[in-house]
Every structure is written in structure tokens, then in C-alpha cells.
Amino acid sequence: MHTHTTTRHTLLAGLAAAALATSGCELPDLDTLAPGAPSAPATGTPRELPALAVAAEDTGAHYDRDDWPHWTSLGDGCDVRDAVLQAQGQGVRTGSDCAVSGRWVSVYDGATVTDSSELDIDHLVPLAEAARSGARHWTQAQRERFANDPAGLVAVTATSNRQKGDQDPAEWLPHRDRCGYIARWVDIKHTYGLTADPAEAAAIRAAWARCPR
């Protein structure tokens, strides 16, 4: 099979265009896709997190994953999943059918992966969590924008993704870079006007208080 190296900027541009076409809104900075681009500083005083409204979650009984279209097509056989793999990997090569090969470090558990089929693209704020936290009455276009927003997508091992499931920070935190994870969680919820339940808000405050100062 003939392969070629697809540049990061080409795929990011395609991802941005697809998301903008879906939503008609400006997306967050695409650099959040890049590995090692933390939302919080590794040293020094952690920045102040945006305030989240605190409210009890709804039951989530209305949630149906099929109502949240994800992995929008970018053309040429590529989709949002492929773009995330391209952006977050090292030495990535993409075939003519958009088969992606390279090396990835799972941001949740630090595992090195060389087979992209072993990776999940996780919604950092799970779709079910969003549905329980204020997205109940979103339109399909709003749900699709959220589900394909690069600011909230990370390439991780399937094992770590299954361990996380749809849990919030009161129930699960990654083994690595918890400060960055908390910062991105809050940023995403703030951007989309989602709430935090009381236990979640307390866990966020406790975790953030332990971040380096």
C-alpha cells in the first residue's frame, strides 16, 4: 500500500472546518490536540479555574449515544478520530485509506501504544456526563459539535477508557497529569455551560488544591 506523511496542520485544518460547518460556531484552540500541551502549568501557581454552576445531575435516562453523532468525516476517507490520532501521535504516517500508524503515549496511564486500533478516542467529559449536566435540551447540532470538539478528545488505551467509563472526577481521576485533566474538564464544562454536581465540585476543588504552587 502506498503511504504518505500527512502533516499535522492539514488534518487540524480539516478537523476545524468540519466542526465549524457543523456548528457555525468558533471552536476552542486546536492546539489542545497536541500532546504535552497542558491546560495548567506544571510548576508555579495554578491558574484560577472558571466557575461552574453547582447543581444536582438529572437521571440521564434520556441519554442515547446515537443522539451524539461523532467522528465527523473530513473527506478522503479520514474522520475526526483519524485527525486526533494524527495530531497526538509521534512519527505518524497515514495511508491512502487514512489508516494511521505511529506511536502514542496514552495520557491517562502513560502506556506506549504502536497499534492505533488499540487506542480509544475518549471524550474527556463523557457524552453521558454532559447529558446529565445540562445538555438535555441541546439540539442535535449542539450535541454533534460537542462530540467532535478537539478540545475534549484524547487518545488513550482502551483499558484506561473502560476504567473511566462515564464517571466524573469524584469517581475517577487518571494516574497521570491530574492537574491538567481537572483543568481541561472544567474548561470544557464552562465552555458549554454544563454544571457540576456537589460531589464533583468538591472533588475538583480538592484535586486542584494539590496542584503544584
| Dihedrals phi, psi of 115, to nearest 5 degrees | -120, 110
More confident residue, 194 or 47: 194
Q: According to DSSP H, which parts of the chain are helical?
A: 8-23, 80-88, 127-132, 140-148, 158-164, 178-191, 198-209
Winning range, highest mean pLDDT, from 17-26, 38-47, 52-61: 52-61
**CA–CA separation, 179 and 158 (whole Å):** 22
- Closest Cα to residue 124, out of 141, 149, 94? 149
Structural domains counted in the chain: 1
**CA–CA separation, 189 and 105 (whole Å):** 25
10-14, 100-104, 144-148, 159-163: least confident range: 10-14
Q: For residue 42, is pLDDT > 60?
A: no
- Closest Cα to residue 49, out of 197, 171, 153, 188? 188
- Closest Cα to residue 181, out of 29, 49, 44? 49
**CA–CA separation, 42 and 58 (whole Å):** 35
Q: pLDDT tens digit string along 92-126?
A: 999 888 989 999 999 999 999 999 999 999 999 99
Give the mean pLDDT of the chain.
Answer: 83
**CA–CA separation, 126 and 142 (whole Å):** 15
pTM here is 0.80
Burial environment of residue 93 by CB neighbours within 10 A (0 to 12, 13 to 18, 19 or more): middle
Q: For residue 183, is pLDDT > 90?
A: yes
Find the largest Cα–Cα distance for the chain: 53
3-7, 50-54, 65-69, 124-128: least confident range: 3-7
Residue 32 lies in domain: 3-62+71-209
More confident residue, 186 or 30: 186
> What is the Cβ-side half-sphere exposure of residue 69, based on CA atoms within 13 angstroms?
13
Confidence of residue 158 (pLDDT cuts 50, 70, 90): very high
